[in-house]
Amino acid sequence: MKIILVTDHIKGDTGWSRYARDLATGLSDKGHEVRIVQREDGLVDPLKYVANPVQAFFSALKVNKIIADFKPDIIQFVVEPYGTMIPFLKLGKTKIVLNAHSTFAYLPILVKGIKRKLLELYTPFMYKKLHAVIALSEFTKKHFITHMTSINAMKYVENKIFLVGGAIDLKVFPPHHTPKENNPKKIIMVGMIKPRKGILESINALEFVKTDFVYNIVGSFKEGDGYVEVLRKRIQELGFEKKVFLLGRQDHAQLQALYEESDLFLMLSTNNGADFEGYGLVYLEANSYGVPCIGPNDSGVSDAIVDGKTGYIVDQFDSRLVAEKIDAILQSKTISPDDCLDWARKNSIEHQAEQFTKIYSTLTA
């Protein structure tokens, strides 16, 4: 099939771009002809499309030219705000697929006042014309259904919602496990240093951990940022200066080495208002090294971690319970590295591409 993927870029340094890049790789490996449409093709920052049909209209003119030239069977909007172009597309036989990753699955939630009212009126026009919505997790699917129901728009999508979880490229993160006897035990977190990633909650839980540990926090941050200052203050209060480290952004080789030597992945993402963790590919990355994970409930992470088998789903605000699960993994080895490896293999981009191929075939039959 001929498939267009619409995304902001494919550098792989954001959730959207990483997803688009890996999906393109998986589909290409399956023999599909994939065309990426991104900012280089005249698109702008995704947030500029929210509640702005004028921007969507002018971008749709550019995308229509690409559609006319490429003649795709499928056009898939990986980045949800770009879906605002859908009412203005000239498609012919092309089928439209729209991803629903997390909060952005329902765009009106991002704005307030009159802009929200206008976007609520505009949203049904997006979904009337498309053929499939891809929810990344059950939590995201529920979020999407709840809000679409609130504006009486579920009738446009109730038979079009498919669940396809996250996936990792096993050529980039080849599943393997190296037995280790670390002392202290090594815990890792990978993600942007911001409140929604639950780093403060993780540090609070570590206060009650009985096992000797170090906690390596990998992700970009700006020194002097308010949240970074909160973290540093808490680290100092707990006397964790030689146990908890903000390592900053690491290149791929450095990240691989950190995963390789780790005993546990800990990221307790929190819901920051309407903003939530839609899935969490980093949990799969850790699993590909046989590393068990601990993540939060009330989010899409419940689809990324098999509770009790590849790690634990916890109440991220119950510090003592989180600490118990950390000790269970580090001391009692309650989670098998082999189960983690198997889960990573089951969530490969190859498997994801197979799922999408079946959906595309259904839409174009």
Q: What is the pLDDT of residue 273?
A: 73
CATH of the domain at 104: 3.40.50.2000
Q: What is the pLDDT of residue 272?
A: 78
Q: How many domains does the chain have?
A: 2
Is the distance from CB of 310 to CB of 287 less than 8 angstroms? Answer: yes
**138 and 192 co-located in one domain:** no
**202 and 266 co-located in one domain:** yes
**26 and 154 co-located in one domain:** yes
Query: How far is Cα 184 from Cα 207, in angstroms, rounded to an integer?
Result: 15
In a domain, 177, yes or no: no
**91 and 220 co-located in one domain:** no
In a domain, 172, yes or no: no
Structure tokens at 168: 């990792």
Residue 5: enclosing H or E segment and its boundaries? strand 2-6
In a domain, 251, yes or no: yes
In a domain, 94, yes or no: yes
Report CA-CA distances (Å) from 115 to 50, 123, 148, 154, 344.
9, 12, 17, 21, 41
**227 and 120 co-located in one domain:** no
In a domain, 173, yes or no: no
**219 and 192 co-located in one domain:** yes
- Closest-CA residue to 201 (of 267, 138, 256): 267
- Closest-CA residue to 114 (of 165, 177, 51): 51
Q: What single letter denotes the amino acid at residue 107?
A: L
In a domain, 353, yes or no: yes
pTM above 0.85, yes or no: yes
Q: What is the pLDDT of residue 249?
A: 93
Quick check: helix, strand or coil at residue 11? Answer: coil
- C-beta neighbour count of 48 within 10 angstroms: 13
**199 and 327 co-located in one domain:** yes
**224 and 154 co-located in one domain:** no
In a domain, 55, yes or no: yes
Burial class (CB in 10 A: 0-12, 13-18, 19+), 361: exposed
For the chain, the three-class secondary structure string (H helix, E strand, C coil) is CEEEEECCCCCCCCHHHHHHHHHHHHHHHCCCEEEEECHHHCCCCHHHHCCCHHHHHHHHHHHHHHHHHHCCCEEEECCHHHHHHHHHCCCCCCEEEEEECCHHHCHHHHCCHHHHHHHHHHHHHHHHHCCEEEECCHHHHHHHHHHHHHCCCHHHCCCCEEECCCCECCCCCCCCCCCCCCCCEEEEEECCCCHHHCHHHHHHHHCCCCCCEEEEEECCCCCCCHHHHHHHHHHHHCCCCCCEEEEECCCHHHHHHHHHHCCEEECCCCCECCECCCCCHHHHHHHCCCCCEEEECCCCHHHHCCECCCEEEECCCCHHHHHHHHHHHHHHCCCCHHHHHHHHHHCEHHHHHHHHHHHHHHHHC
**332 and 209 co-located in one domain:** yes
Structure tokens at 284: 């799969």
**252 and 330 co-located in one domain:** yes
In a domain, 12, yes or no: yes
Domain hosting 136: range is 2-167+348-364
Query: How far is Cα 340 from Cα 296, in angstroms, rounded to an integer?
Result: 18
**127 and 198 co-located in one domain:** no
Is the distance from CB of 289 to CB of 260 less than 8 angstroms? Answer: yes
**83 and 207 co-located in one domain:** no
Q: pLDDT 10s per residue in the chain (365 long)?
A: 999 999 999 998 888 999 999 999 999 999 999 999 999 999 999 999 998 999 999 999 999 999 999 999 999 999 999 999 999 999 999 999 999 999 999 999 999 999 999 999 999 999 999 999 999 999 999 999 999 999 999 999 999 999 999 999 999 999 999 999 999 999 999 999 999 999 999 999 999 999 999 999 999 998 889 999 999 999 999 999 999 999 999 999 999 999 999 999 999 999 977 789 999 999 999 999 999 999 999 999 999 999 999 999 999 999 999 999 999 999 999 999 999 999 999 999 999 999 999 999 999 99
